[in-house]
Structure 1
Amino acid sequence: MKSYGETLKKIRLSKNYDQSMISGNIIHQSSYSKYELGKINMTVYKFEKVLSNLGIDYEELKFIHHSYNYDAKVAIVTRFNNLKFIDELILKEIIAASEVYLKNIEDPQIRDILLVSHGFLAIKKENNFELASLYADEVWNRLQTLDTWYLADIRLINSILFLFKIETAISISQFAIKQLTKYQALHDYQKLIYPFKYNLVQLLIREKNWLGAYQLNEELIVAFKEEKAYVQIALTYLRKGLLQKKIAMEDEVDFVEKAFEIATVLDDEKLHIQLETERKQILDFIK
């Protein structure tokens, strides 16, 4: 198997750097040469400094190392995290890849993704929320024992919030948002917290807390506009329009209609279907 040292050498040569430029005062040049040849290892500290001197980070190195592709685990996690809607084809691909991966390596994160994907598929194919909740419970049984949640855990739990009882889901959301405050210095912190706030709006709607849902949804509209996240803008517009009608708030703009206009302008059929689904769900809660 090709070592990271070989990949670092390839990157170094492509940048026309000699070994002394990369090793600097971090590691002796002769030792660095042995690392490129795969003969020795480096400490994590020295490895990070070498990457910094090369002008790349670990994620980019892994991507290049695997022939400009993700490794098997990262590919599964990335595919799952990028799911915008419950897409049957993509879910089947994630399930197949996860099962292959778990035959060779037992990995709690991939195991959880497999369970959640099965749950989503049960909803998509059979509208079986009871079965989906059983899969979600298996994931929750592991996560609830942890004192600290990390980003992978937080992303995972956010995806299954809607499968819990309303009181539990709201409690989980509030705990997760507190956990995320530790990541405020991270460059995409806001993008991590938006999904929880977005799902919390739906939870508040289910609890019939119309005003609380409306106020939080307004915060999200402002944030999504700044991000130019048009899919999310459309969905929050839909919620705004339906909530305005429920609390008898007059507005010159029909935000439900505006939401569907965005889907039409983007020529996004999946978004249009999602808006229809969301509208039906919210109207059911309102009734």
Structure 2
Amino acid sequence: MIQYGKTLKMIRKSRGFSQAALCKGIMSRSNLSRFENQLYVPSFDKVLQLLERLTVTLDEFVYIDRGFLPSKYDYFYKKLIQAENYRQKEELTEVAKQIAEYKEESIQFYELFLLSQFALLENDLPAILTKEDISNYMRPVLFEIENWLFYDFRRLNNFIQLFELDEAIFLYDRAITEFGKYEGFPKENNIKIHLSLNLGQLLLEQQQLVKAETYFNRAKQYARQQNKLYQELLSDLFIEKIIQQKKQLSLKDPLPTMLAYMKQIGYDAVVHSLMTYTE
């Protein structure tokens, strides 16, 4: 249940602010009191000013209001991606069923349903929809975006495999350019890494090895900038796979040796994920 006023009151007290100190220059003390008692909803800019004074971001505030739990969408998205990355077919089937129950709830959930169906098809599992069904919905959506927002980059990342190569490269280039405005965004995270990895995979499937290697190297560079070791190793595995296909020398520090050592010290699940993802 949304209880923003009560949540603000709890944070205010934990920070040692009196009502008068918190609301000074923002709103009247009586309005703050009414807000904390769920009797008044201040304008959005006033809420942001209160949170800034409390040194709490809006995302963190909403997270606290939910009882330190992720949103339902974020919960199922994380479960789906984890099952897909680790090739856990039973878990993937189960989470896809759960997501399907909420597909009518919002556009976000419907597109998450489409993504779950796509993941089932990519793993040779029974699905309700076909790739054509998914493509017919998502392709026009992604081509018609004029002003890219953060959610749109995630959309492209999730569904880039639906496009022809020239289309995928066009959308990738546009997204990377547009993403410049989000470089300082706290949720920047893995978008550029995964976009590059997914486009590299698409090119690799079409045996365009030189171009594929270019995008895997980009993914590796982005991963290193973000200190994402898993994605950096994944990029290296794809690069080594290309080198082997081109019958060139192996990398200076062969990854198989490193992965064997990682298994030895207890990272079996990570190694399994890396190897199955690059098969």
Q: TM-score, length-normalised on structure 2? A: 0.83
Query: How many residues matched?
Result: 276
For 1:113, the equivalent position in structure 2 comes to 112
Which shows bigger deviation, 184-193 or 251-260?
251-260
For 1:13, the equivalent position in structure 2 comes to 13
Q: Which has the higher contact order (CA 8 A, sep 6+)?
A: 2
For 2:203, the equivalent position in structure 1 comes to 204
Question: Identity rate of aligned residues, in percent?
Answer: 18
- How has the CA–CA distance of structure 1 residues 94 and 20 changed in structure 2, closer, same or farther, with 3 Å as cutoff? farther
> What pairs with 1:89-238 in structure 2 (closer than 5 Å)?
89-92=90-93, 94-102=95-103, 105=105, 107-126=106-125, 131-187=130-186, 189=188, 191-238=190-237
- How has the CA–CA distance of structure 1 residues 6 and 277 changed in structure 2, closer, same or farther, with 3 Å as cutoff? closer
In structure 2, C-alpha distance between the alignment counterparts of 1:143 and 1:93, rounded to whole Å? 28
CA shift, 1:187, in A, is 4.2
Q: Secondary structure at the match of 2:85?
A: coil
Question: Which one-letter code corresponds to 2:60 in the other structure?
Answer: E
What per-residue deviation string (whole Å, max 9, x for no partner) do you get for residues 14-42 of structure 1? 33221012112011111111111111111
Q: Secondary structure at the match of 2:207?
A: coil
CA contact (8 A) 2:219 2:235 kept: yes
For 2:31, the equivalent position in structure 1 comes to 31
- How has the CA–CA distance of structure 1 residues 159 and 268 changed in structure 2, closer, same or farther, with 3 Å as cutoff? farther
CA contact (8 A) 1:23 1:50 kept: yes
Q: Secondary structure at the match of 1:146?
A: coil
Which shows bigger deviation, 236-245 or 252-261?
252-261
CA shift, 1:236, in A, is 1.7
> What pairs with 1:75-94 in structure 2 (closer than 5 Å)?
75-80=75-80, 84-92=85-93, 94=95
- How has the CA–CA distance of structure 1 residues 79 and 151 changed in structure 2, closer, same or farther, with 3 Å as cutoff? farther
- How has the CA–CA distance of structure 1 residues 197 and 141 changed in structure 2, closer, same or farther, with 3 Å as cutoff? same
In structure 2, C-alpha distance between the alignment counterparts of 1:124 and 1:164, rounded to whole Å? 18
CA contact (8 A) 2:204 2:212 kept: yes
> What pairs with 1:239-278 in structure 2 (closer than 5 Å)?
239-251=238-250, 253=252, 255=254, 257-258=256-257, 260-261=259-260, 264=263, 265-269=265-269, 271-272=271-272, 274-276=274-276, 278=278
CA contact (8 A) 1:7 1:64 kept: yes
In structure 2, C-alpha distance between the alignment counterparts of 1:228 and 1:2, rounded to whole Å? 35
Question: Which one-letter code corresponds to 1:178 in the other structure?
Answer: T
CA shift, 1:111, in A, is 0.6
CA shift, 1:72, in A, is 2.6
CA contact (8 A) 2:5 2:38 kept: yes
CA contact (8 A) 1:166 1:206 kept: no
In structure 1, C-alpha distance between the alignment counterparts of 2:74 and 2:273, rounded to whole Å? 29
- How has the CA–CA distance of structure 1 residues 190 and 7 changed in structure 2, closer, same or farther, with 3 Å as cutoff? closer
For 2:61, the equivalent position in structure 1 comes to 61
Q: What is the Cα-based RMSD across aligned positions, in Å?
A: 3.0
- How has the CA–CA distance of structure 1 residues 45 and 90 changed in structure 2, closer, same or farther, with 3 Å as cutoff? farther
> What pairs with 1:34-53 in structure 2 (closer than 5 Å)?
34-53=34-53
Q: Secondary structure at the match of 2:17?
A: coil
Q: Secondary structure at the match of 2:137?
A: helix
Which shows bigger deviation, 35-44 or 236-245?
236-245
CA shift, 1:277, in A, is 5.2
In structure 2, C-alpha distance between the alignment counterparts of 1:119 and 1:216, rounded to whole Å? 23
- How has the CA–CA distance of structure 1 residues 51 and 80 changed in structure 2, closer, same or farther, with 3 Å as cutoff? farther
